[in-house]
Chain A
Amino acid sequence: MSKIFNRRNNQRIAKVLIWAAAFAVILVMLAIIIYVLGKGLPVVNLNFLTQQPSDAGRAGGISSAIVGTLLVTFVAILVATPLGVGTAFYLTEYARESTVTRIIRFSAECLAGVPSIVYGLFGFIVFVIFLKLGWSVLSGGLTLAIMVLPTIIRTTEEAIRAVPKIYREVSFSLGGSRWQTITRAVVPSALPGITTGIILSIGRCVGETAAVILTAGSSLRMPTSLLSPTRTMAVHFYILAREGISIDIAYGTAALLIISVLIIDIVANILVRVFVAKVR
């Protein structure tokens, strides 16, 4: 009599559980996406995209929320990308391991865990109140920039670390400078990873509610400058859904949010592939 839990059976049981887990995850994803798109897509049409909200969001479209989302996200990524990628390259390629780099890394790690609502509190007290930027595109964008910074640092660092040491050694041995080694040998192979980090960050900015509602405000007007208060799509959806203002328009907004994320992902994936092909 062989035991039930011999190593062959363990292998079979484990395989079944792993497949089940993977399928459960996919099912949940499909459930959410199909439900939201099913309810929301019928609401989305040209008017919905181009008209301004009226009657507190009960009628009209969501054009000002779309513009608000784009502006806030743009500011955030514009500020966070150079900071984050630069920091990661400094940590991995230039700095020697020391107390300073450990402090920088620990800080980045802590920043990564800081809840978005705390970034909201910070942005509120620093940008909105202290720097007197008010509830504005700029306050919201800067707050989000600091929020996604750790993500960009971490993913970039991991992408750089994944580049085999031999690439650098070969480049150095051919007389390449550190800068040439980084730009010609490290960056091309690390780029997909770096891009993924930035994509994740764009997604977080577009979907963030807590930090934005405290710093960019919830004005329904079309923003006219970086100092205008604005409302992003996620905030718009939250207010519509929670206060039961218009469930239809809420679903439409949610569908649009999900579709934007899909488009961002597809475009980024294509870019990565094109780039990788070019480098090779």
Chain B
Amino acid sequence: MIDFKEKSTELALLFLALSSIASLALITIFIIAEGVPVISKVGIINFLFGTEWAPSLGKYGILPMIVGSISVTLVALVIAVPTALCCAIFLVELSPRFLASIVRPAIQVLAGIPSVVYGFWGLIFIVPFIRNYLGGPGFSILAGSIILAIMTLPTIISIAEDALRALPPSYKEGSLALGTTQWQTIVSLQIPAARSGITAAIVLGMGRAIGETMAVIMVLGNAVALPKSILDPARTLTTNIGIEMGYASGEHQQALFATGIVLLIIIMILNSIAQYAARRR
């Protein structure tokens, strides 16, 4: 009887696991099936490296969007990763108990703030600030990056914190007993030991930054042109879909699915790199 129960729970769980995975397969298949015809018609080189996006003329070059996505994400990470790591270390090592019990729920709340609210806040505060003090139209890569950095903080902090906290206390005790300072222990022992979790944290944050649409639409300016500086407006792969999906049809709509394929491939590459890094302890 117990054996039967054991077997059936195992089968039920296997079924759930397979259904979860079927959804990824389905996403990939459907997006590719919708998008590939346009890519093969335009030619993959013209599609990826074309600088002209003019759906009404049948021109579909997404290089400006690729450059836009990459630059916004990188600048966002440059801001977010050090801040988030410091915050995680703060919570695990330095924070007095009562402060941690305020900071942690606050981060949880931040994670829940809808991206459109961030976007709107950026539109009201950050865009004018950049326009007045740094120049340019204000709608810029920098504005998008700042918003994305704030949005990715909760993700990176909470996962990095979990990773640091999951370390056996004996690691730290051993190191401190050898006479190292707390900072040396953090830098040369705790962070390397938690590397796989921290990598996962950064990749998830990166995924969130590359994939964010609505917040970025509001502050990025959305111009289809190769940006020359971080004060220039830009359009990302996601905002390209977000802006035009509402009215696109036919080949134009398929071109947006093709943009989705590029996003998917970027995510797959990133994840492969991250998993490789995580395995190499």
Q: Interface on A for B, CB 8 Å cutoff? A: 7-8, 10-11, 14-15, 17-22, 24-26, 28-29, 32-33, 35-36, 82-84, 86-87, 89-91, 94-95, 103-104, 106-122, 124-126, 130, 146, 149, 153, 158, 162, 177-179, 199-200, 203, 206-210, 214, 234, 237-238, 241-242, 250, 254, 257-258, 261-262, 264-265, 269
Contact = CB atoms under 8 A, between A and B. Distances in A.
Given A21-B82, A116-B213, A121 B109 contact: no
Given A22-B103, A118-B264, A177-B2, A94 B13 contact: yes
Contact of B120 (A21, A126, A241): A241
Contacts of B113: 32-33, 207, 257-258, 261
B23 interface: yes
A252 B83 CA distance: 31
Interface in B1-40: 2, 5-6, 9-10, 12-17, 19-21, 23-27, 30-31, 34
B12 A86 contact: yes
A208 B153 CA distance: 17
A29 B113 CA distance: 10
A21 B242 CA distance: 33
Interface stretch (B45-53, B54-62, B127-135, B180-188): B180-188
Interface in B186-205: 186, 203-204
Considering residues B94, B166, B183, which has the most beta carbons from chain A within 10 angstroms of its beta carbon? B183
Interface stretch (B84-92, B136-144, B224-232): B84-92
Nearest to B25: A107
Interface residues of B, number: 86
A86 B120 CA distance: 38
A15 B86 contact: no
B17 A87 contact: yes
Interface in B96-131: 103, 105-118, 120-121, 123
A108 B30 contact: no
B87 A25 contact: yes
